[in-house]
């Protein structure tokens, strides 16, 4: 435990689970603590597919970044970016184009301190410790790295289900997109209960209780509610679908209760 604590910013309460560090655990990372692992294991007991879902979500992110690169997008704003793990956005983008620019945003101090350590020698990418709901200050910070006269790919991957309706998530996303030029893209993944059976729904409610003890409570959204984030945008085929059904590069029959979609600002 003492060894772990060396890399932890002093503001972090390691006794309280964080979704960033639970997600790191699901992906096989090492930046998580006892409380995170205990909560993550509780979720796994109720919902054994959680790690597979996290991996499917991460694969969607990789496919989207690659696709947007083929559409000429060279800049990315990754909101709720999480703790760096294998296949981070700058690694995918800069592999194809070393000049690609990336701004990571997360409000979890461990995620941001690790991102900045990883990016110390990378002049085209940085990480901001900020709440994605604070749109004006996030946009101001992002402008220091990104050129807002050229298209940007906004990535909000597995983060919006931690923003309740009371915190105006639709208005926040609309404000991000309003500041960006035509030809910018929005990619979202979002947990849903739409596809669950009655029995699975009962399990899911137990999972939600575990998250309610973390710093981030869950707000599930329906297909229509996820689609609403793309109001005024051109949806890319195949629209709002389970993440593993969005332009898969291999056959994957995992049942994933996470929607994924990409839209283009006309
Ligand atoms: C499940 S993780 C997803 C990480 C990454 N986007 C991915 O999909 O691989 C969710 C992340 O969103 C972050 N997050 C949740 N609410 C946020 C907010 N209001 N502002 C910034 N980050 C937030 C959490 O700290 C966490 O790192």
pLDDT in tens, 240-266: 999 999 999 887 767 788 999 999 999
Tokens of 121: 């020698």
Tokens of 209: 């209780």
Determine the distance separating the centroid of ligand 1 and the alpha carbon of 191, expressed in angstroms: 13
Of the options 3.30.360.10, 3.40.50.150, 3.40.50.10860, 3.30.40.10, the CATH number for the domain spanning 2-264: 3.40.50.150
Q: For the chain, what percent of residues have pLDDT higher than 70?
A: 97
Q: Which residue do the tokens 């956005």 mark?
A: 89
Over residues 131-182, the pLDDT tens digits come to 999 999 999 999 999 999 999 999 999 999 999 999 999 999 999 999 999 9
Dist CA 228 CA 103 (whole Å): 25
The H or E element containing residue 146 is none
Nearest protein CA to atom 8 of ligand 1, as residue: 157
CA angle, residues 251, 254, 257, in degrees to nearest 5: 125
Q: Which residue ranges make up each domain of the chain?
A: 2-264
Determine the distance separating the centroid of ligand 1 and the alpha carbon of 31, expressed in angstroms: 15
| Per-position b or e across 20-56, b if 16+ CB within 10 A of its CB | bbbbbbbbebebbbebbbebbebbbebbeebbebbbb
Determine the distance separating the centroid of ligand 1 and the alpha carbon of 103, expressed in angstroms: 14
pTM here is 0.93
């Amino acid at each position: 435990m003492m060894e772990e604590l060396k890399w932890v910013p002093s503001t972090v309460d390691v006794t309280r689970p964080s979704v960033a560090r639970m997600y790191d655990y699901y992906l096989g990372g090492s930046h998580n603590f006892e409380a995170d692992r205990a909560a993550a294991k509780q979720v796994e007991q109720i919902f054994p597919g959680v790690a597979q879902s996290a991996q499917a979500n991460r694969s969607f992110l990789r496919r989207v970044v690659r696709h947007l690169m083929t559409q000429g997008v060279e800049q990315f704003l990754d909101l709720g970016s999480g703790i760096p793990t294998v296949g981070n956005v700058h690694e995918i983008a800069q592999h194809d184009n070393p000049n690609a620019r990336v701004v990571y945003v997360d409000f979890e101090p461990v995620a941001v301190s690790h991102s900045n350590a990883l990016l110390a020698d990378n002049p085209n990418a940085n990480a901001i410790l900020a709440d994605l709901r604070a749109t004006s200050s996030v946009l101001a910070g992002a402008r220091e790295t990104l050129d807002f006269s050229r298209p940007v790919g906004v990535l909000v991957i597995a983060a919006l289900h931690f923003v309740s309706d009371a915190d105006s998530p639709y208005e926040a996303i609309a404000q991000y997109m309003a500041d960006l030029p035509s030809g910018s893209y929005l990619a979202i993944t979002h947990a849903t209960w739409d596809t669950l059976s009655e029995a699975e729904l009962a399990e899911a409610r137990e999972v939600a209780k575990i998250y309610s003890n973390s710093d981030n409570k869950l707000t599930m959204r329906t297909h229509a509610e996820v689609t609403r984030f793309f109001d005024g945008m051109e949806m890319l085929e195949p629209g709002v679908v389970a993440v593993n059904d969005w332009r898969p590069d291999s056959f994957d029959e995992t049942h994933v209760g996470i929607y994924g979609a990409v839209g283009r600002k006309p």
